[in-house]
Amino acid sequence: MTEISIVIPIFNEEENIQILYSELNKILEELKKDYEIIFVDDGSNDRSFEILEKIHNEDKNVKIIKFRKNFGQTAAISAGFEKAKGEVVITMDADLQNDPNDIPCLLEKISEGYDVVSGWRKGRKDPFLGKKIPSKISNFLTRKLTGVNIHDFGCTLKAYKKEVLTDLELYGEMHRYIPAIVAWKGFRLSEIEVKHLPRKFGKSKYGIWRIMKGFLDLLVVVFWQKYSTRPIHLFGGLGILLSAIGALLGFYLALQKIFFNVSLANKPALLLAMVLVLVGIQFISTGLIADILIKLYYSKRGMDYSIEKLNND
């Protein structure tokens, strides 16, 4: 039985792969547990796959998944999750900035009863303006919007019990929000400080556009967490609020016309009142349609809940 699976996305990391494998292999052998290392080649156009094949031919604990093209880190991690057989699945980057020596600490925390353990790169070795500041802003927004209080959602170095990954649907840039998704399902989450090393080879694949896409995916996660079963609560609430504001504004204008003979012909406020009422009605209608679609979705898929134990004797 495989006890540990290590899932590592690879994209043009030819200079790092052999070093990473050697360090990983040493740590995993010392743990004396059955393990597998799953490298997911995310459409590399350098010698990454050639190096991975050579390692695989020498070590059958190493598995390789090769994408036809670059689909992104979330897709690579998701593919690794699907193939992983370990009771505990650990993800990490291939750029040598995650330290394999932190793996025993992750496993120790998992053994305390946690379902997910997330790494916190407290002493992060990255450019201050280019990566640290955007990361701090992103983590702050994620904590506030999801209510999950960990410091570093973007750290790839994480450990998961296998059952956490069942029916986990990932797309876009959602891999960084897995802690929020699983916390919403009721799994126990913890965080430990991990080392973060300076990048030796290659260059970062992150950019401002990726951060923006990640934020949009965060909005999807938050919406799904809070309103996936009753979207009418969001759209209907907004609709009622806007319609009420429009109706009150219209009532105020009507009083001015009736009692003070104020002309409404050139009043932009009148148009605003009408627009608010109409937009409010559209929001309510959207909520009703979304509610119907959600009911159809869950009738085929089943409701979202997570059972920890079942005593059925």
Element housing 65 (H / E): strand 62-66
Q: Is the pLDDT of residue 207 over 70?
A: no
Describe the crossing of helices 232-260 and 268-301 by its angle, rounded to 10 degrees.
160
Q: How far is CA 224 from the centre of its chain?
A: 12
Give the tens place of pLDDT for each residue, 78-96: 999 999 999 999 999 999 9
DSSP per-residue letters across 174-229: GGGGHHHHHHHTT--EEEEE--BPPP-SS-----HHHHHHHHHHHHHHHHHHHHSS
Q: Cα(60)–Cα(16) distance, rounded to whole angstroms?
A: 20
Compute the average pLDDT of residues 99-116. 96
Please tell me which residue, 188 or 212, carries the higher pLDDT value.
188
Q: Is the pLDDT of residue 214 over 90?
A: no
Q: 3-state class of 286 per DSSP?
A: helix
Q: Is the pLDDT of residue 303 over 70?
A: no
Spans of all domains in the chain: 4-227, 232-301
Question: Hey, which CATH number is domain 4-227, 3.90.550.10, 3.40.50.1000, 3.40.50.150, 2.60.120.430?
Answer: 3.90.550.10
Torsion from C-alpha of 291, 166, 78, 140, nearest 10 degrees: 70
Give the pLDDT confidence score for residue 308 in this predicted structure: 63
Q: Is the pLDDT of residue 196 over 80?
A: yes
Q: 41 near 13, Cβ under 8 Å?
A: no
Closest to 290 in 3D by CA, of 214, 222, 223, 241: 223
Give the pLDDT confidence score for residue 257 in this predicted structure: 86
Q: Cα(127)–Cα(125) distance, rounded to whole angstroms?
A: 7
Give the tens place of pLDDT for each residue, 250-283: 999 999 988 888 888 788 999 999 999 999 999 9
